[in-house]
Amino acid sequence: MKHAFSEQRLLTLAEAASYCRFSNIKFKRECPVAPCFYGDSQGLYDKELIDLWVDKVSPIVENKTDWLSKLD
C-alpha cells in the first residue's frame, strides 16, 4: 500500500507520526527531529531526517555486517 506522503519530503505532524507508526503524542515524545518553519507553515518534519533517526535507533542498522569485507 502506498501512502500519500511517500513522495513528499516535508510532512505534517500527523503524517510524520503515521510514517513512523506512532501516535502524534508518542512521535513528539520519542522523535528528536524538530519541525522546520518557513513562511506561514505550522511546522513540517523533514522525512529524510526522520529516516536518519530511524537508522540510528534501528537494531538492523546497528548490527549490520559488511559481508563483502569478510570475503577478502
Tell whether 35 is covered by a domain.
Answer: yes
- pLDDT band, very low/low/confident/very high, at 63 (cuts 50, 70, 90): low
Tell whether 22 is covered by a domain.
Answer: yes
Tell whether 71 is covered by a domain.
Answer: no
What pLDDT score does 2 carry? Answer: 56
List Cβ neighbours of 14 (8 Å cut-off, separation of 6 or more). 24
Q: What is the mean pLDDT of residues 33-39?
A: 92
Tell whether 18 is covered by a domain.
Answer: yes
Tell whether 44 is covered by a domain.
Answer: yes
Tell whether 72 is covered by a domain.
Answer: no
Q: 66 versus 42: which is more confidently predicted?
A: 42
What's the CA gap between 59 and 68, in Å, rounded?
20
pTM of the model: 0.72
What pLDDT score does 58 carry? Answer: 81
Tell whether 1 is covered by a domain.
Answer: no
Q: What is the mean pLDDT of residues 40-55?
A: 92
Structural domain boundaries, residue 36: 9-63
Number of domains in the chain: 1
What's the CA gap between 21 and 12, in Å, rounded?
14
